[in-house]
Amino acid sequence: MKAKIVITPKKAVLDPQGKTVQNALEHMGYTGVTGVHVGKYLEIDLAPGTDAAAARQALNEAAHRFLSNPVIEDYRLEIVD
User: Could you give the string, one character per residue 3-42, with x where binding to a copy of itself holds by CB under 8 A and - elsewhere?
Assistant: ---xxx---------x--x--xx--x-x-xxxxxxxxxxx
CB-nearer residue toward a copy of itself: 41 or 81: 41
Beta strands 73-80 and 2-9 are antiparallel
Residue 40's nearest CA partner among 1, 3, 75 is 75
Rounded distance between C-alpha atoms, residue 78 and residue 69, angstroms: 18
Site residues, a copy of itself (CB under 8 A):
6-8, 18, 21, 24-25, 28, 30, 32-47, 50, 54-55, 58-59, 61-62, 65-67
